[in-house]
A and B are shown apart, each in its own frame.
Chain A
């Protein structure tokens, strides 16, 4: 049997990403509904038990601090479930999403549908949920939800072919060894390089 305490299992990984968003307007958020939210980066959190509070709180705090330093805001939460066929938001996703929504009303919750995943990334496999009246409602996600789907598809596919995920650092990796940088500067460089 594999000892899960030792190393992350590729099969079990549940990358959780949070979206940071850069406000395109310099004004204070008065009429935020007219400003489209653009998510510009994401930070993977954990691969393992998600339903425990302390490390999640630590992660949100550190990431929030870092966001403020860089004029970003945490704009959403992203989750991929352990079982491929399970793509519905669970209690963890809803709770974290709600927490983020407390600080950012337009927060989105994003679930990955792994059953439709392909190395070519030809179609978006995300389901985007918005928070309305304490419930999460799924909105239509198509190529228009992305700034530039063609570029995104090309870059993502190239990163997958090149196995860049082998060097992906999440918050769990950071807690295992502080030298691991959860902002993933190398991968971000590769993304820019592929643009």
Chain B
């Protein structure tokens, strides 16, 4: 099989830079990371300098995603050798055990980290991930709530909790989590839009009107958010069609829906190279 550098005609520097970009953008394109990273490690380790350690970490996690335990093990050994006793490396060892579905051993690993450092948030979150992997949603939710009482500013955790609630169809609690996120991130159009989706799903006229407002807000924050645009159209249309609204409200929502339709059509026309179906 041809090497990555041969297939794509890239230098080792370009491969290293690509890995860095993927790290910075938090891409989880694990197969590509394994392809590029493995070659970099095998052929060019000596040239990478201190970068190699973070590359080992990145490649190890990608290897776990791809069931490449051989590669993950190699990376882990290198990291253990270089950073003996490191909590960060211990966590990686725990993740490997998770990937092998050895959840009890993984949990013990994280417990040992927490014994030395009870504030180690990474280890606590991994323990919650184990519960999620085992399908123990109720427990995961409980643990995550406890975690958030202590670490109330952890946005990633609030977002994870909102997802867990959504999967359990507990939309009210999901909305609460998203409200927290919107409060601390008032300019984030994604949280606004997701909140609107939750409200829409809850249903009922009040929630629909709220959802329309938040779809509109998301659009104000980012006028290219297509979900917000579609959401505005859907919510306004449903409100206009509801028998419970008076003529004024109906008229206003027909106006919003029409505006949204025009914007949607413009968005599609601006992007047509091939015909885009359905719109």
Contacts and interface: CB of A to CB of B under 8 A. Distances in A.
Q: Do A and B interact?
A: yes
A62 B167 contact: no
B253 interface: no
B150 interface: no
A91 B230 CA distance: 24
Q: SS class of chain B's interface: helix, strand, loop or mixed?
A: helix
Contacts of A91: 169
Given A52-B166, A83-B133, A2 B26 contact: yes
Contact of A66 (B28, B65, B226, B278): B278
A1 B156 contact: yes
A174 B30 CA distance: 22
B226 A178 contact: yes
Contacts of A86: 135
Contacts of A3: 26, 156
Given A86-B135, A185-B274, A54 B230 contact: yes
Given A51-B166, A52-B198, A91-B169, A5 B190 contact: yes
B200 interface: yes
Chain B: number of interface residues, binned into ranges: 35 or more
Contact of B271 (A54, A85, A178): A178
Contacts of B135: 83, 85-86
Contacts of B80: none
B200 A53 contact: yes
B31 interface: yes
A128 B156 CA distance: 37
Interface in B16-33: 25-31
Contact of A10 (B30, B226, B230, B276): B30
A49 B167 CA distance: 7
Interface string B87-120: 0000000000000000000000000000000000
B85 interface: no
A10 B28 contact: yes
Contacts of A65: 277-279
Interface in B194-246: 194, 196-198, 200-201, 203, 211, 226-227, 230-231, 234-235
Contacts of B226: 175-176, 178
B152 interface: no
A54 B163 CA distance: 16
Contact of A51 (B28, B167, B230): B167
A55 interface: yes
A63 B278 CA distance: 7
A28 interface: no
Interface of A: 1-11, 49, 51-55, 57-58, 61-63, 65-66, 69, 83, 85-86, 91, 163, 166, 175-176, 178-179, 181-183, 185
27 contacts: A2-B28, A7-B27, A7-B28, A9-B28, A10-B30, A10-B65, A49-B166, A49-B167, A53-B197, A53-B201, A54-B196, A54-B197, A54-B211, A54-B234, A55-B230, A57-B234, A62-B279, A66-B278, A69-B277, A83-B133, A83-B135, A85-B135, A178-B267, A178-B268, A179-B271, A179-B273, A181-B276
